[in-house]
Amino acid sequence: MTAGSTTIDAMWNFDEERVDRDPRDIARQLFSRLTGAHQYGNPVARREKIDFDEDCLPTPDYAEPITSVSELNYERERRDLIKLVNFLSEKGLEIDTDLVVKASSSSAEAASALLKQLPSKYVLPRISPDDDGGIAMIWEKDEQATILTIDGWKLHIVENPATPHSRHLPVTTFDGETVPQALEDTLITR
């Protein structure tokens, strides 16, 4: 045994029984102990030592196992957007020293539900409050764009705004559980 392995044996109390196990299992266990990754519940989060709030995962209709760091980062961004929506409802966004734009609680509730239901195959939107108490979501990629204004539980969808191909879809009521097909048809995939 080398000095390095003796140190590891003493440090982690490796015993002879572990020598017969698969070296990959031993490496995983050692990595977990060295990084403290064992304290996280999600396997990818555990592997990458990333703090992750599982309450913001999509609901079972679109729930897929998180199998990569990019998926985990996507879910973290989704969670952060939901937190932003809540912030816009509670505190608002200061536009000027005497002007704060806040989202209504019903618009924030609908926006949070929509973000939770949004299938992970779509790009996440940019978000801002609008001056009427709603929340605007903007999806952009290359020459394609969709703007969604959430006013309470009503969805106002505009595909490719400010272009000759602009299309205003009929106002849709969001039920809080299913992303309307009209919206999905306009969204940009990752």
Rounded Cα–Cα distance for residues 78 and 70 (Å): 12
Q: What's residue 21's pLDDT? A: 52
User: Where residue 2 falls among pLDDT bands split at 50, 70, 90?
Assistant: very low
Indicate the pairing of strand 144-151 with strand 135-141: antiparallel
Task: Confirm whether pTM is higher than 0.85.
Answer: no
Task: Report pLDDT digits (tens) over 152-181.
Answer: 999 999 999 989 989 999 999 999 999 999
Nearest C-alpha neighbor of 148 from the set 176, 167, 165: 167
Distance CA 160, CA 139 (A): 10
pLDDT of residue 174: 93
H or E element in which residue 138 lies: strand 135-141
Which has the higher per-residue pLDDT, 159 or 69?
159
Entry field: residues in the chain: 190
The answer to whether residue 46 scores a pLDDT higher than 80 is: no
Confidence of residue 61 (pLDDT cuts 50, 70, 90): very low
pLDDT band at 65 (very low <50, low <70, confident <90, very high): low
- Greater model confidence, 82 or 95: 82
> What is the pLDDT, as a whole number, of residue 137?
95
